Amino acid sequence: MNKSIKSTLSLVIICAGMALLIALANMITAPIIKKNEEAKANEALLQVMPDGAGFEKLDLKTFSNLPTTVEEGYKETSGKGFVVKVRVKGFNPNLVLMVGVNIDETISGAVCLSSEETPSVTMGAEKTYGESFIGKKETEIDSVNAIAGASYTTDGYKEALKIAINVSKVFAGGSADFRTEEEKLQDALKEVLPGTTSFEKVFIVEVIDESIDAIYKADNDKGYVVIIGEQFIGVNGEGVCVSEVEDTVKTLAENTVSIISTTTTVDIDLTTYANLPQELVWAKKTATGNYIVQVKGDGFSINNYYGKDKKEILVNLSLTKDGKVIDCYTYDHGESANYGDACGKEDFYGQFDGMTESDLPSLNDIPDLVDGGHGPEYTEQPAVKDVLDDYIDVIGGATITTRGYVRAVLYAFESVKIFEGGLI
């Protein structure tokens, strides 16, 4: 026989023989390996549903409209509830949670299977954070304390738990709404003024009725939506109310839109005033005598010893001539993610609405930052926090940011006082 044919044949026969042996071994071991893997998977499931008798993996394809963040779903075989594996974004992507949901839609347990969160920020807290939610319903999730200094991680965690509860409703044969709060709001606004792509919150610069919670403007000039409590009142581009509401509410909405849509402003020449704070960036005055100012505050970014791209917190405020904040929002900032960047959220800046100078400590009352030798960012600032705590909700883990923000607002008050004091 040709030598090469003999060699090839030998090799093929040996390969076939070994393949046969492997197949035999596989036949014996495969069921045991599968059983082991199931037991291991059940172990993770039992962590979040300790009294579960057994778990059956659900085929997600058989359920429609599940969010893409849901990776796996399990049904507890005795009907105690469901376990959902969810992958969401915390500060970084890939925060993976296994969440157990009881049949009464309360959390039975939650564990973090893997995360890419910054260890120095969360200190691994995301691994045990799930324990805080045991027994909580969807409506109670937001009330659980955040992981200190890790707002993004906390938000991602809470989002995952809400998704799990809603997915469980679908698994149980019901329906659920998987939209985010912002999506729900936008959809509600679109229902009031159909044909609009998106709405933007109006920065209010005129004094309006206190019952009005917010005003949104349609992106295509189709009009405004005025929110009063639970009511969404649409006012079209011609200033006519299009919602079926009581006449008094209708009139209030139309008048409010009329006020805010006809506001005119003039720029204030800052050079004509003496002693204006250097922190005032620009100012405008409305025809009704209110002021719109942009002020800057020295937050963490500015006071960060090693910071390369130092950036002030820029705050836009509208104030009455007697120094009361009509509206306030953060225009820009360079504060740290997961810490001071909470100053860019309405939860924080919304608390300044309606404040006057007397509602905040004076500039002199706010202590200077303490520098322990390596920049203030490495030094606790309890004295500052103690003072601010008496007036506002200080951002967790971001006292320096809060201090800078409050100082900016105080400079706005000071500026208005100078404007009202007259020209040079």
- Interaction of residue 220 with other proteins, rule CB under 8 A: no
The least CB distance from residue 308 to other proteins, in Å, is 36
- Identify which range of 24-32, 117-125, 177-185, 297-305 contacts other proteins by CB under 8 A: 24-32
Nearest Cα neighbor of 370 from 362, 359, 379, 360 is 379
The least CB distance from residue 16 to other proteins, in Å, is 10
The least CB distance from residue 168 to other proteins, in Å, is 31
Kindly tell me which of 9 and 240 has the beta carbon lying closer to other proteins.
Answer: 9
Residues 2, 38, 40, 132: which binds other proteins (CB under 8 A)? 40
How many residues at the interface with other proteins, by CB under 8 A?
21
Enter the tokens of residue 272.
Answer: 């004509």
Enter the tokens of residue 157.
Answer: 């965690």
The least CB distance from residue 45 to other proteins, in Å, is 17
Kindly give the pairing relationship between strand 223-228 and strand 214-218.
Answer: antiparallel
Residues 21, 53, 287, 363: which binds other proteins (CB under 8 A)? 21
- Interaction of residue 26 with other proteins, rule CB under 8 A: yes
- Interaction of residue 77 with other proteins, rule CB under 8 A: no
Kindly tell me which of 3 and 61 has the beta carbon lying closer to other proteins.
Answer: 3
- Interaction of residue 211 with other proteins, rule CB under 8 A: no
- Interaction of residue 308 with other proteins, rule CB under 8 A: no
- Interaction of residue 43 with other proteins, rule CB under 8 A: no
- Interaction of residue 114 with other proteins, rule CB under 8 A: no
Kindly tell me which of 3 and 308 has the beta carbon lying closer to other proteins.
Answer: 3
Residues 28, 274, 423, 424: which binds other proteins (CB under 8 A)? 28
Residues 3, 62, 244, 424: which binds other proteins (CB under 8 A)? 3
- Interaction of residue 14 with other proteins, rule CB under 8 A: yes
Residue type, 392: I
Q: End-to-end CA distance of the chain: give it in Å, rounded.
A: 114
Residues in touch with other proteins (CB under 8 A)? 3, 6-8, 10-11, 14-15, 18-19, 21-22, 25-26, 28-30, 32-33, 36, 40
